[in-house]
Amino acid sequence: MNQLMKCGFIVLLIAALVAAGSAQLTKTVLNNPVPYGGTALFRIQIHNDVGGWLTNVQTVDPMVPACSNNWWGDIPPGATVSYDCSASGVTETFVNEIIATGYNYPNAFRVSAFAKVIVTCDPDFQVSLEPETQSIAYGGTASWTVKVKNTGTCVLTNVWATDNNAALYPSGMTATDVGCSKKIGTLGVGQESSFTCSQANVIANFRKVVMAYATDPKGNVATRIDDAQVTLIPCNPAISIVGTPAAQFVHSGGTAKWKITVKNTGDTDLTGIAVSGAVCKKSIASLKTGASSTYSCSKAGYKRGESNNMYTYPLKVKGTACGMTVTANDALWVTVKPKV
């Protein structure tokens, strides 16, 4: 009888030691809720709340292998050890179990902990066209920066920016990269893609419109739109022509000589400048604003008795700017005197 009682006491003592040889295990999700397709961050903690050392401690996480830790270290009484781990590409809510095993000599222990990962997916994105306004000289080039940003909690795929001014609406989301259109592809949560684009030979005020398309994880396609104003810098072309001397006398058989000055008197550069008339014809390629060109010309062989001894030479100059042609006129007079 005493022998049985003694054996029973030993069995109870062993059971008590096994029960006492334990540890506290916790697993915490550090970034709940986790965006769809994002990465769940965990912290694992093991606390030794027993009287002796915990030895040969290791953790096993079947669902998140990265959280398994073959750590064969020792934890002194009252101490806490921790480490972080993660699971990427999370697309659905789940409950994760982690198991810790080891020894509180001579007893083995096994404890587990649970953590619930909550996955959210709220798709949203923005498109912006910058600058919102700009002024361009006639025939100049307007430039923009297009930005598309994923501002939601889902990964977005098949992302496009489409230049509506170029009438490029994607058919089956396969638009061509023309103008301010561009295939962006995939945008992760918080990710932004930007690119520059331009439009040359601006000859009128207009509004640039860019639309962005994106597909969420459920296959839904959403659109966002932005626009920007382009305004032509005021263009007031003008030109002048002056011949000197305006009037002169020449002897019969003599030669009349002039200096002709053509000036750009407007607020924009001129091209294709040409002087026409019976005398002093000339072509001038271009003149910057405020610039002038002076050249000499002459006519010989005057005779008395023709045109009542007086000759008049109208001059006309023209130039082009801002899609407009501007002109100016002058006149030269020559009076023929008898030969001395």
Determine what percent of the chain is predicted with pLDDT higher than 90: 68
pLDDT at 178: 58
Give the CATH class of 11-120: mainly beta
Question: Average pLDDT in the 251-264 region?
Answer: 96
pLDDT at 281: 97
Q: Per-residue pLDDT tens for 58-102?
A: 999 999 999 998 766 789 999 999 999 999 989 889 999 999 998
Cα(331)–Cα(275) distance, integer angstroms: 12
CATH architecture, domain defined by 125-232: Sandwich (2.60)
Cα(119)–Cα(37) distance, integer angstroms: 9
pLDDT at 4: 30
Question: What is the chain's mean pLDDT, rounded?
Answer: 87
Cα–Cα distances in Å, from 263 out to 135, 187, 208, 248, 258? 26, 57, 37, 23, 16
What pTM value is reported for the model? 0.59
Cα(23)–Cα(77) distance, integer angstroms: 10
CATH topology of domain 239-337: Immunoglobulin-like (2.60.40)
pLDDT at 278: 96
pLDDT at 241: 98
Determine what percent of the chain is predicted with pLDDT higher than 70: 89
Provide CATH 2.60.40.10 ranges for the chain. Answer: 11-120, 125-232, 239-337
Q: Per-residue pLDDT tens for 174-232?
A: 444 558 999 999 999 899 999 999 988 888 899 999 999 999 988 999 999 999 999 99
Q: Per-residue pLDDT tens for 111-159?
A: 999 999 998 888 999 999 999 999 998 888 999 999 999 999 888 999 9
| Residue 172 CB burial class (10 angstroms; 0-12, 13-18, ≥19) | exposed
Question: Average pLDDT in the 262-277 region?
Answer: 96
What count of other Cβ atoms lies within 10 Å of the Cβ of residue 32? 15
| 17 or 136, which is more confident | 136
